[in-house]
Structure 1
Amino acid sequence: MLLYSVCSSEVRIGHSLNEAESQHVASRRVMVQQCLQQHNISSSDEVPIIAVLGSGGGERAMIGLLGSLSQLSEEKLLDCIMYLSGVSGSTCCMAAVYKESDWSIRMETVKQNIIQRLGSGKVSHSVQYNKLKKMCERDNVSVTNIWAACFVSSVVKEIEDHLLTECRDQHTNDPYPIYTVIDKHCKHNTLYKDTWFEITPDECGYSLTGAFVDSKCLGSQFVKGAKTEEHPEIDMLYLQGLCGSALADGDKIRKWISHNIVCLSLTVDEVHPSILKSKTRQYEDAGLLVNSPYFSVLRKERNVDLIISLDFSDGDPFETVDKAAQICKDLQIPFPTVEHHGTHEEPKDFYVFNDNPNAPTVIHIPFFNAGNCKGNLNMWKNRYQTFQSAYNDKMISDLLEKAGLNITNTKKKLLREIEEVIKKKKEHS
């Protein structure tokens, strides 16, 4: 991975991948190929680009994604994943695992450390206060700092001080991480092309529009593409607060979850005038629009062949994929046709949508389903609400087991779809 010593002074306009991500993808292709060979899948030069998506869903999503990654590791499938992208609660899991260097090759140890912290850890009010006090020394402090220091820390049971860009040289053996939020103003104005904002260790910016800055600059100000005011890089606790601000549009806390971070003021035709003229931009939990980070991996330059959507959402088990399909239709982004039986019966543990030769194959796995709940779907859903107090040890253990079952029960199907994707790549090469 490339190391950046200072925050770049310019906004990068363009749709190409930054060099650091390109290098990561190129080096990981070898690992993906070796992983597939272990499963007797020959990919030759057609190595598939596979992305795992973690939806929102509070602590349920955090633990659900952790259990899923752990079981992918147990089943020797984790190394075939190129991208790991999350929104809301899933980003708390991502922040926890990417805190550990090369976490995917020692998944069990990393998982146990996280479980122990969630089960017995505690952040005192005095520690929260001191963290908030330190945050308030910044010039661009916002109410998201309060949300992160007081709420997020009480859920994840730690104060996360390390920086996102510290990951740049520590994860050559791991999937490339993408955190996703949305532009609040663009969402309300239904400017969906300009809504999706991605954050990686190397760059952050508008996924579909193609305007990016060095991630060290997240929080700095730019005018006409040039940096005019630099602020310290945000830490991972703030990032989790930003990604996990699902209540930002709620009546009770609407006034205290607004946040101003990056200002991109450019001379660019593709960017909507409302973004160009705005002095600051406000970002919020992507789950308020689509509770899964489809649009970061649908960025065509990433050439994703297979999307594995791990859906930890509450309510309609197909809402995320249905919304993604509709927005893709509106924006003319290739996406497979989504057809399912709706919510009239318990969802299965594995759905495949793959009728569009120009779009990635999409695998959709609802968290609670007929396969891992065995007729007790409502009981499990009622036990794990999105907004409730922190889970106890038993709840964490049971939830990890359910997540693991979704991988174990569908392993053969996953491998079959990977083979089909490789076959499709060969036919179109």
Structure 2
Amino acid sequence: LPDLSGTVAKWKDSLASVSSAFSSLQTELSLGPDSTYARILADAHNPKVHPEVQWDAEVRLGRDLPYTERAFLRNRRERIRVAFAELVGVPLDQVDERDLPVVAVAASGGGYRAMINTTASLVAAKESGLFDVVTYMSAVSGSCWALNTLYSVGGGDLDWTLRHLRERVKEPFLAPETFVKLFAIDDEASRLLLSAAILKRASRGGELSLPDVYGTLVSSRLYLSDDDENPASRKEGGPAAPRPLSLATLKTSTQRQYMDDGSHPLPIYTTVRHDLPSPEELAEAEKKAQEGGGPAADSEGEGGGGTEPVAAKLSWTWFETTPYEVGSDKLGAFIPTWSLGRVFEKGKSTERVPELGIPVLSGIYASAFVASLFSYFLEIKPLLVTLPFFSAIDEFVKSNAHKLDAIHPFPPAELPNFLYGLEPSLPTPSSPSDGSPSSSSATPAPSTIPHALTEARTLGFADAGVELNLPYVPLLRRSVDVIIALDSSADSHDVWFTRAAEYAKTSGGAGAGAQDEERGGVRLKNPKPTPLGSAPESKEKAARGEGLDQSNNKAAAQGKFTTPPSSSGDGDTTKPMPESQTKEPPLGKCSVWIGSTKAEDAATCRNDHPTVEDVVRRDGIALAYIPLSPDDEFKNPLEVFSTWKFDYTEDETDRLIRLAKDNFNAGEQQLKTLLKGVWLRKKQQRLR
């Protein structure tokens, strides 16, 4: 953890000014007729300020991509065609849009470290020409901050965004100056940042939470420029923010202005919901487990224990947010992004309120602190292994994993449940859908749609990194050909390969129903069951694949995973995704895996320096994994840049930027080879 002594000292010296500012804020937020609170609420119904309050919203049922995203894909392909021909050095007239590889960036979590690493890597991609052939950018946690900054005040300008973040991370958001400026209600910038939390507080959709406060404080550093904080100090003629701060700037839906014409990749922000059994079910399961000989006996199918049915309810549901829609592919339900924050009932919005702002969402995207106790243990486990009583702690945690994974010390942020009252109309995830609201009226199986999900008025959302710190999940339904994984997380790399492989396998043509059934089988094969959504207990077990059903995981060991049916209508519907193998060389600056359905290719999934011919011969997804690798000048980046460190010196930031760019540039030629090989493969397949 970072040293907080300096921050504490600053607070001692600034208590008077902070107290005064907070007192002023309390007065302003008193809900009086002339208060800032009242003025913000009055504007909430002004269509000139919030155009979306003129529209009603409906839940879209189905797993297809929305028409808006399909239109984006058409326009993006037109742009990519020219950039791709130049990148790989082929004549433009030889490039057919139908053959273009669908390239996605998957950027990990990791606080400010991930935010800077992702932004710097994208700058390097822009400089090399690779950014201009990317279609999707999915993000977790700190990388969500990077993309939101880029498409809010950054106006899509990568160079400006990186310079801006470099300046804004010098001061921590917990510094007293941040509170004083944020509480300065007379300041327009402060009112804009506070509007998201105030509008949520005034709505019927959920109370303010710790993630909301966290997000607002972080936003005061990320989405305000130095000029916004100190307009009088702006240098004449100096560069202004590409997109001036406004309420529109702080809405995800307005980011589509950079995607509609295909000029930028589509950002995909991720969150997860933890589906939990009730306290009564947990108590009953514990009683049965004690009567039947404990969890170990039950996990072997003997003794009559009762933890398995309860553990089956400890599942994670992924949600995605793009400038077009918010929803879950697993559930097959989406709403327009501009309607996020509204109360829905039976598939229709029951109120017209402004879209939930980015400051609140920024807290949800990075709310790793709302993880379960089991996740907390996994995080600190490396620090405990040297303790003399560690084995006793470890044994206790293993035997009570199903209970610890159901306890969240800090509750997640709650948002209105747009699925409320929808249960009779939700399609089963394995059913085909044309994307229309009336595409299906089938009642979903309980194992697919938790019964409580459509009965709850609100849903709790958390940082997707508590489940999987690389956002492969939203890419699996989008028929991607190449994934560039930017991993600056502090976690075991093997964990994310193992988990991603499981998702790829269980999200295949059988649908999400098969996913839950198969994962239940995984637990039954494990004497010490790892709860659903929990990482393996160690790097060694992750590397060996422990925690996965080995009998059902034969295809996983061979890197033969299939993605869900294509939602875009282009390309193959079964693109195998590779998995990290157990006997491989150490990870380099750019490690490459290429999936294949051919049995003879099973042992050679890893190929860090493939030729174009190597890529053409395979038929699966290509994964280029670029971690935050140390070099001779910077041997310990993960130690210097803790996930919970929120202030960097200029020198530290510059070193991190240089390292991120060097790591990305080291794999430039490998990436170009992958893209050219996939293009030729798709061209050959089309012409057969």
TM range (shorter): 0.7 to 0.9
User: Is the CA contact (8 Å cut-off) linking 2:590 and 2:667 kept in structure 1?
Assistant: yes
1:86 aligns with 2:139: yes
Q: Which one of the candidate residues 170, 181, 187 is aligned to 1:119?
A: 170
Q: Match of 1:107? A: 158
Q: Match of 1:355? A: 595
1:284 aligns with 2:351: no
Question: Greater shift after overlay, 25-34 or 344-353?
Answer: 344-353
Q: Which one of the candidate residues 207, 214, 217 is aligned to 2:329?
A: 207
Q: Match of 1:26? A: 74
User: Is the CA contact (8 Å cut-off) linking 1:72 and 1:78 kept in structure 2?
Assistant: yes
Q: Match of 2:453? A: 275
Q: Match of 2:371? A: 249
Q: Match of 2:499? A: 323
CA distance in 1, matches of 2:162, 2:490: 24
Q: Match of 1:423? A: 680
From the CA coordinates, give the structure whose radius of gyration is larger: 2
User: Is the CA contact (8 Å cut-off) linking 1:307 and 1:360 kept in structure 2?
Assistant: yes
How far did 1:203 drift?
A: 0.6
Q: Match of 2:318? A: 196
Identity %: 24
Going from structure 1 to structure 2, the CA distance change for 1:101 and 1:315 (only over 3 Å counts) comes to: closer
Q: Match of 2:531? A: none
User: Is the CA contact (8 Å cut-off) linking 2:212 and 2:361 kept in structure 1?
Assistant: no
1:82-231 counterparts in 2 under 5 A? 82-100=135-153, 103=156, 106-119=157-170, 124-129=178-183, 131=194, 136-139=201-204, 140-143=206-209, 144-150=211-217, 152-153=218-219, 156=222, 158=224, 162-171=250-259, 172=261, 173-185=263-275, 195-231=317-353
Give the letter for the 2:589 counterpart: D
Give the letter for the 1:268 counterpart: L
1:387-398 counterparts in 2 under 5 A? 387-398=644-655
User: Is the CA contact (8 Å cut-off) linking 1:10 and 1:227 kept in structure 2?
Assistant: yes
Q: Match of 1:261? A: 415
1:410 aligns with 2:667: yes
TM-score of the pair, normalised by structure 1: 0.87
CA distance in 2, matches of 1:126, 1:256: 26
Q: Which one of the candidate residues 56, 59, 64 is aligned to 1:11?
A: 59
How far did 1:223 drift?
A: 2.0
Going from structure 1 to structure 2, the CA distance change for 1:222 and 1:70 (only over 3 Å counts) comes to: same
Question: Greater shift after overlay, 194-203 or 166-175?
Answer: 166-175
Could you say what secondary structure the match of 1:261 adopts?
Answer: strand
How far did 1:337 drift?
A: 3.1
Going from structure 1 to structure 2, the CA distance change for 1:107 and 1:185 (only over 3 Å counts) comes to: same
CA distance in 1, matches of 2:63, 2:585: 42
Give the letter for the 1:294 counterpart: Y
1:195-243 Cα deviation digits (max 9, x unpaired)? 1100011110002332100111212222221222444311111111111
Give the letter for the 1:44 counterpart: D
Q: Match of 2:631? A: 373
User: Is the CA contact (8 Å cut-off) linking 2:414 and 2:458 kept in structure 1?
Assistant: yes
How far did 1:390 drift?
A: 1.7
User: Is the CA contact (8 Å cut-off) linking 2:332 and 2:427 kept in structure 1?
Assistant: no
Q: Which 5+ residue runs of structure 1 have no aligned equivalent? A: none
Q: Which one of the candidate residues 294, 297, 310 is aligned to 2:472?
A: 294
1:157-203 Cα deviation digits (max 9, x unpaired)? 74985111121224431111110111122799667997110001111
Going from structure 1 to structure 2, the CA distance change for 1:391 and 1:326 (only over 3 Å counts) comes to: same
Could you say what secondary structure the match of 1:48 adopts?
Answer: coil
Q: Which 5+ residue runs of structure 2 have no aligned equivalent? A: 1-50, 186-193, 226-244, 278-309, 377-406, 429-443, 509-561, 564-575, 598-618
Could you say what secondary structure the match of 1:292 adopts?
Answer: coil
How far did 1:114 drift?
A: 2.8
User: Is the CA contact (8 Å cut-off) linking 2:153 and 2:223 kept in structure 1?
Assistant: no
User: Is the CA contact (8 Å cut-off) linking 1:181 and 1:284 kept in structure 2?
Assistant: yes
User: Is the CA contact (8 Å cut-off) linking 1:98 and 1:167 kept in structure 2?
Assistant: yes
CA distance in 2, matches of 1:418, 1:268: 38
CA distance in 2, matches of 1:28, 1:192: 39
Question: Greater shift after overlay, 397-406 or 386-395?
Answer: 386-395
Going from structure 1 to structure 2, the CA distance change for 1:308 and 1:111 (only over 3 Å counts) comes to: same
Could you say what secondary structure the match of 2:335 adopts?
Answer: strand
TM-score of the pair, normalised by structure 2: 0.56
User: Is the CA contact (8 Å cut-off) linking 1:121 and 1:157 kept in structure 2?
Assistant: no
Please give the root-mean-square deviation of Cα atoms over the aligned residues, in Å: 3.0
CA distance in 2, matches of 1:126, 1:375: 38
